[in-house]
Amino acid sequence: MTSTLKISALTKTFAGLKALDAVSLTVEPGMRVALLGHNGAGKSTLMKIVLGLLPFDKGQVEVCGAAPGSTAARAGVAYLPENAAFHPALTGEEQIGHYLALRGESPKGARALLERVGLHEAAGRRIGSYSKGMRQRVGLAQALIGRPRLLVLDEPTSGLDPVSRRDFYELLDGLAAEGAAILLSSHALTEVEARTDRLLILSKGRMVASGTLSDLRREAALPVTIHMTARNGYAADIAAALPGSIRFGADLQLSCSQEDKLGALARVTGLGDRLADIEVVPPSLEDIYSHFSRRDGQ
Amino acid sequence: MNRILATALTEFRIAFRNRWVAIAIGLMALFALVLSAAGSAPTGALGADRLSVTVASLTSLAVYLVPLLALLMAFDAIAGEAERGTLPLLLTYPGSRVEILLGKLAAHLCVLALALLAGYGLAAVAAFLADPGAASGLPALFRLGWTSLLLGATFLGAGYALSALARRPSGAAGLAMGLWLGAVVLYDLALLAAVVADGGGWFTTDLFPLALLANPADAFRLFNLAASEATAAAAGVGGAAAAVPLWQSALSVLLWPLGALALASAAFRRVTP
């Protein structure tokens, strides 16, 4: 299978500052890849290079088998910018019609596209009167034009309410099932975890982690926390029986590595009815994300 | 080609919604009517038909108004897209940047053509009402029409170039007004001052005609006045029309739009959104 997007050792410097430092990644057809990172981590720069909007210094970038920004690449790539903006004097239908014509399709398809993103009622109104979420939907509608092979989506769900978000990811699932490769950026790991096949974490221009969520979980090897609630008066007993545990009144907390998890649980259950309740808390997505994005001393 | 047409259609729609079409037509019509009314006195003495005299007056009007309208429409073309945030998305679509420029140019020329049609048409009607023999001035009016469009294209191209260089609409507006003032008003004043100071020397005989040809507005005026019979009705720089061969001013009028568009394209190519 040939990759839709292939980037190797990509480096981009802005005035001596490395915005991207030897970044490599591939996106196969049908794959949904999430690009995560703080503001200024290099997500937008990477996307603009893929789109051919920015030149780069070193490395190789291949988009749909062509150079980024070339006619062949642009024909196969759709883009949704962060905070999608359009001319306020045009109606949604006219704006989408214009984009359809630019891709060599009939402007008559505009209404159907707007219907797909749930905007058919506002299609005849000027975009100047749209809310942020509606403009984002117009942006999404234009990204659906002409069966793109690669979708580059910069913070696509910003400004969308939770229900629209779910609809949006359902749309993406459909596109991926048809073979489109999807590269999207986000601040929120919790939002993309169930909706993407691979996660990439950028920090200060470097790719600090890449893989599925369970890959990242394993690699981060963050401790598991066991929360315990003691029965009346037994808290001190339990704290003595479990060295390393931390006690807050009747509640106790024990941290252990992934490998020691079962052993620790066995010791905890060995405490019998001195315990009222226990709860095992795996490292949260936010913990994993901070672990990787802080590794470089942030 | 389809992309150029699509861009032109969208841009025309925007110009229409933003009242640019109405403003341009209103402005040209108003000035043309005022000129027709004011120019009714000297006709008999010149021995030219009424329309030819009107064309001479319209030429002086167009030299100021056409570049102004063109620059007002053009300054926002690229800087505005950049400020609204629509430029990055537009540039990821198939099609070259020249196609975007040509589409905008087509739409803006259309607006200008409508304005000229209204203004020159009204002036022609007024001339015909006053003088039944005005038909002999029709070729001059036609010439004025297409050269006005070329003059407009030149300043539209220059406006796009400034818009791309400035990146911000406010900066682009300032540059555009500076260009208008410089190319249309101050340039002529400076030349006249130099001619007066020179007192008929080398500057007046050799450099002055070249300097006129180098400015698209002056070349436009030279061409229209030299080609028309009503040279005598024009004053100032127009008096030099006789000194410059017609083909030279025609060449300048024809080449400037291409040069301006090349400039705009070069400036737009350097824009990284």
pLDDT of the residue at B227: 73
Residues A5-218, CATH architecture: 3-Layer(aba) Sandwich (3.40)
* Chain B nearest C-alpha distance from A88 (Å): 9
In terms of Cβ atoms closer than 10 Å to its own Cβ (0-12, 13-18, 19+), residue B196 is: exposed
Strand order in the sheet with A224-230: A246-248, A251-256, A224-230, A275-281
Q: What type of residue sits at position A227?
A: H
Say how many residues make up chain B: 273
The tokens describing B46, both together, are 């010149």
Highest mean pLDDT among A224-228, B228-232, B261-265: B261-265
* Interface with B, mutate which of A98, A138, A155 (most B CBs under 10 A): A98
Q: Which residues of A touch B6 (CB under 8 A)?
A: 98, 101-102, 107
pLDDT of the residue at A232: 84
Residue B130 structural domain: 2-269
Helices (H) and strands (E) in chain B, counts: 14, 0
Q: CB distance A51–B92 less than 8 Å?
A: yes
Q: A22's torsion region: left (phi>0), alpha (psi -120 to 50) or beta?
A: left
What predicted TM-score, i.e. pTM, was given to this entire model? 0.87
Q: Look at residue B45 and tell me whether its pLDDT is greater than 70.
A: no
Greatest Cα pair distance, chain A, in angstroms, is 77
A154 touches chain B (CB under 8 A): no
Task: Report the alpha-carbon distance of residue A8 to residue A61 in Å, rounded.
Answer: 7
> A50-59, A278-287, B5-14, B230-239: which has the minimum mean pLDDT?
B230-239
In terms of Cβ atoms closer than 10 Å to its own Cβ (0-12, 13-18, 19+), residue A233 is: exposed
Specify the DSSP element, H or E, that contains A247: strand A246-248
* Interface with A, mutate which of B13, B81, B89 (most A CBs under 10 A): B89
Q: CB distance B2–A101 less than 8 Å?
A: yes
Tell whether the torsion through CA atoms of B227, B231, B237 and B239 is positive or negative.
positive
Q: CB distance A103–B94 less than 8 Å?
A: yes
pLDDT digits (tens, 9 = 90+) for B128-168: 888 787 888 888 899 999 999 999 999 999 999 999 999 89
Q: pLDDT band for B239, please (50, 70, 90 cuts).
A: low
Average pLDDT over residues B226-250: 65
Q: pLDDT band for B199, please (50, 70, 90 cuts).
A: confident
A51 touches chain B (CB under 8 A): yes
Total domains present in chain B: 1
Q: Which residues of B touch A107 (CB under 8 A)?
A: 6
pLDDT of the residue at B40: 59
pLDDT of the residue at A295: 60
Q: CB distance A90–B89 less than 8 Å?
A: no
pLDDT of the residue at A298: 45
Please give the torsion angle defined by the CA atoms of residues B118, B119, B124 and B130, in that order, rounded to the nearest 10 degrees: 120
Strand order in the sheet with A77-80: A77-80, A150-153, A181-186, A32-36, A198-203, A206-211
Q: What ipTM was reported for this prediction?
A: 0.87
* Chain B nearest C-alpha distance from A73 (Å): 9
pLDDT of the residue at B242: 61
pLDDT of the residue at B115: 96
Contact residues, B window 16-35, toward A, CB-based 8 Å cutoff: 17-18
pLDDT of the residue at B41: 55
φ, ψ at A233 (rounded to 5°): 85, -10
φ, ψ at A290 (rounded to 5°): -65, -35
Q: Look at residue B44 and tell me whether its pLDDT is greater than 80.
A: no
Kind of pairing between the strands at A77-80 and A150-153? parallel
Mind giving me the DSSP string for B66-84?
A: HHHHHHHHHTTTTHHHHHH
Q: Look at residue B37 and tell me whether its pLDDT is greater than 90.
A: no
A66 touches chain B (CB under 8 A): no
Q: Look at residue B43 and tell me whether its pLDDT is greater than 80.
A: no
Crossing angle of helices B50-74/B169-180, nearest 10°? 150
Q: Which residues of B touch A109 (CB under 8 A)?
A: none
Average pLDDT over residues B202-228: 86
Mind giving me the DSSP string for A114-177?
A: HHHTT-GGGTTSBGGG--HHHHHHHHHHHHTTT--SEEEESSTTTT--HHHHHHHHHHHHHHHH
Q: Please check whether residue A199 is in contact with residue A189, taking contact to mean a CB–CB distance below 8 angstroms.
A: yes
Helix (H, G, I), strand (E, B) or coil at A205: coil
Q: CB distance A52–B92 less than 8 Å?
A: yes
Helices (H) and strands (E) in chain A, counts: 11, 13
B202 touches chain A (CB under 8 A): no
Residue A183 DSSP symbol: E
Q: CB distance A104–B2 less than 8 Å?
A: yes
Higher-pLDDT residue of B40, A28: A28
Query: According to CATH, where is 3.40.50.300 located in chain A?
Result: 5-218
Per-residue pLDDT of chain A (298 residues; tens, 9 = 90+): 588 999 999 999 998 888 999 999 999 999 999 999 888 888 999 999 999 999 999 999 999 999 999 999 999 999 999 888 999 999 999 999 999 999 999 999 999 999 998 898 999 999 999 998 899 999 999 999 988 999 999 988 887 888 888 888 899 999 999 999 999 998 777 777 778 889 999 988 899 888 888 888 888 888 889 998 888 888 888 888 888 888 888 888 988 888 888 888 888 888 888 888 889 888 888 888 888 877 654 4
Q: Which residues of A touch B85 (CB under 8 A)?
A: 81, 83, 85
pLDDT mean across residues, chain B = 88
The tokens describing B161, both together, are 């170039």
Task: Report the alpha-carbon distance of residue A10 to residue B50 in Å, rounded.
Answer: 71
Q: pLDDT band for B6, please (50, 70, 90 cuts).
A: very high
Give me the residue label for tokens 């150029």: B4
A94 touches chain B (CB under 8 A): yes
The tokens describing A5, both together, are 């997007």
Contact residues, B window 86-125, toward A, CB-based 8 Å cutoff: 86, 88-89, 91-95
Q: What type of residue sits at position B178?
A: G
Task: Report the alpha-carbon distance of residue B224 to residue B244 in Å, rounded.
Answer: 12
Q: Considering only alpha carbons, which residue of chain A is nearest residue B8?
A: A98
B211 touches chain A (CB under 8 A): no
Q: Which residues of A touch B169 (CB under 8 A)?
A: none
What CATH number does the domain located at A223-282 have? 3.30.70.920
Helix (H, G, I), strand (E, B) or coil at B196: helix
Which among B6, B88, B95 has the least Cβ separation from residue A53?
B88
Integer CA distances (angstroms), B180 to B126, B177, B191, B215, in order: 30, 5, 16, 12
* Interface with B, mutate which of A87, A126, A136 (most B CBs under 10 A): A87
Q: Considering only alpha carbons, which residue of chain A is nearest residue B18?
A: A89
Strand order in the sheet with A17-27: A17-27, A5-14, A58-63
Q: CB distance B272–A55 less than 8 Å?
A: yes
Q: Look at residue B87 and tell me whether its pLDDT is greater than 80.
A: yes
Which residues are registered as beta bridge partners of A255? A225
Which among A89, A101, A102 has the least Cβ separation from residue B17?
A89
Which among A81, A90, A98 has the least Cβ separation from residue B6?
A98
φ, ψ at A78 (rounded to 5°): -115, 150
A168 touches chain B (CB under 8 A): no
Which among B2, B18, B93 has the least Cβ separation from residue A89?
B18
Count other C-beta atoms under 10 Å from residue A287's C-beta.
16
Helix (H, G, I), strand (E, B) or coil at B18: coil
